[in-house]
Amino acid sequence: MAATCVYCHGRKGKRSCPALNGLICSICCGENRLTKIACPADCPYLEAGTDYQRQRVGELFRQDRRRVYGEVIEVGGEKAAGLFNLIEIVCVSYFHNKPFGLDGEVIAALEFIRRLLSPIHFPAPTVPAFSQYLHKEFKAFLEKEKVDQTQAQQVVDLALALVKEFSGPGLRSNRFLTGLIGCLTMDHPDVVTHLKAQETDQPRIVLAQEGDIATAAKEQAQREKSRIIIPGTSTPPHTHDHEHHGHKHS
């Protein structure tokens, strides 16, 4: 007797699902992968539809992203938002062409930076490549924008919470990265196009004609602020999900 789908328990299960540890039908796999099922990054059924999956998960991610931006702005205004945007930009720059990149790499990098911001920290024996990449850009932004260290810690904590919450419990999940890249590709296509064109894993990132990432991230944060509804304030103009707000990067 053929096994039934481990998800709907109705149709026949034909695909091996590592997330659910059983056979899943093609319909449930296609409709629910990464959105309702925490698929591991190396699942063979993910790679073929990478752009489609990024769009679907990006639409889900958009709401959580805006919520966290509101919290970040409450912590430290535009400087804090610029720092948070820096984290996003570095993630997209590094992982856009790495379909098997894992959310765990982002978590490890943020935890590494968080330890460095702590008054007492012990140096790690080895530092992963992405942790080094993010730390260099993060440090440069702090020095240029004179961000308060306590505020920087709070921004990192908020970023960590977002990644962990959206990624889910799977150790090999890339749901956060999929959602982030998908969301920014839809909402800020000019920025993502420029990042993809650089094709490099080495700092420093330069966005379009801006002098450095700190300036670009700060300006991007100002645009994001106009998209956020901060508790206790009136609804800002132009908050439609797919509006791009006339970016000047070219």
When the pLDDT of each residue in the chain is averaged and rounded to a whole number, the result is 79
Is the link from the previous residue into 172 a cis peptide, with omega within 30 of 0?
no
Report the distance separating Cα 145 and Cα 81, nearest Å: 12
The percentage of the chain sitting over the pLDDT mark of 70, rounded to a whole number, equals 76
The percentage of the chain sitting over the pLDDT mark of 90, rounded to a whole number, equals 46
Report the distance separating Cα 37 and Cα 17, nearest Å: 10
The DSSP call for residue 249 is: -
Who contacts 111 (Cβ-Cβ below 8 Å, separation ≥6)? 160
Q: What is the DSSP string of 127-178?
A: --HHHHHHHHHHHHHHHHHT--HHHHHHHHHHHHHHHHHHH-S-TTB-HHHH
Report the distance separating Cα 225 and Cα 248, nearest Å: 16
- pLDDT of the residue at 235: 37
- Residues linked to residue 24 through DSSP beta bridges, in sequence order: 15
Whether the predicted pLDDT of 226 surpasses 60: no
Q: What is the mean pLDDT of residues 109-133?
A: 84
Domain residue extents for the chain? 50-225
Q: What is the mean pLDDT of residues 223-236?
A: 42
The closest of 183, 217, 186, 213 to 198, measured between CA atoms, is 213
Residue, of 52 and 17, whose pLDDT is higher: 17
Tokens of 247: 């970016």
- pLDDT of the residue at 249: 38
Amino acid at 147: V
- Tell me the CA distances in angstroms from 139 to 204, 218, 241, one per residue in order: 12, 15, 32
Alpha helices in 14-173 (DSSP H): 26-32, 44-47, 50-95, 103-117, 129-145, 149-167
- pLDDT of the residue at 122: 65
CA dihedral 16, 17, 20, 26 (to 10 degrees): -100
The closest of 101, 84, 82 to 215, measured between CA atoms, is 82
Report the distance separating Cα 119 and Cα 115, nearest Å: 8
